[in-house]
Amino acid sequence: VQFVTGTFIEKYDPTIEDFYRKEIEVDCSPSVLEILDTAGTEQFASMRDLYIKNGQGFILVYSLVNQQSFQDIRPMRDQIIRVKRYEKVPVILVGNKVDLESEREVSSSEGRALAEEWGCPFMETSAKSKTMVDELFAEIVRQMNYASQPDKDDPCCSACNIQ
C-alpha cells in the first residue's frame, strides 16, 4: 500500500487479496506493475495456486520482528516452485519492519542465508518509513525483465527465428 499510495496503514487487515496498479520507470524504461497483495495466512492457502500461476514475479515478505513469519515463508516459496514447475522464477525475499530494530527476532544473516539458498535477492525494508520500498519494486521489475529474456545457452532458443 505504501508503494502505490504513499500511505502507511498502521493496522493492516490481511484480506484474501488487494489489487493495485502503478506505473513506474526502471532503468529508463516505463513499466506498469499490477500488484496482487495476498494474505500469507494458511486460511487462504488454497487460493494461492491461481495467483501464483498468473504471477510473473514474487516478493515474499516476512516480519523481522516475528520469527514465525520467517518460518512460514519457506512453504510459500515451495508452493511457487511447485505451481510454476521450474525454479527460475523472479523472487525477492524481504524482511520488513527494519524500523523496529530493537524488536528484531530475525537477523539479517538469517535472511541473507535463505536468499542465498534460493538464489534470489534479499532486502530489508520498512513500509512505515518507506525504507527501500521503491528500490524493492524496481528490483522485481529488473528480475522479471531478465527472466523474460531467452536463454542464450539453450540450443532451442538460439536456433529459433520468429517473424
pLDDT in tens, 66-112: 999 999 999 999 999 999 987 678 999 999 999 999 999 999 999 99
Average pLDDT over residues 118-132: 94
Best CA proximity match to 95, nearest among 87, 83, 84, 106: 106
CATH number of 1-148: 3.40.50.300
Q: How many CA atoms lie within 13 Å of 92's alpha carbon, on the beta-carbon side? A: 23
Q: What is the pLDDT of residue 95?
A: 98
Average pLDDT over residues 14-37: 80
Strand 91-96 relative to strand 122-125: parallel, antiparallel, unpaired? parallel
- 163 pLDDT exceeds 90? no
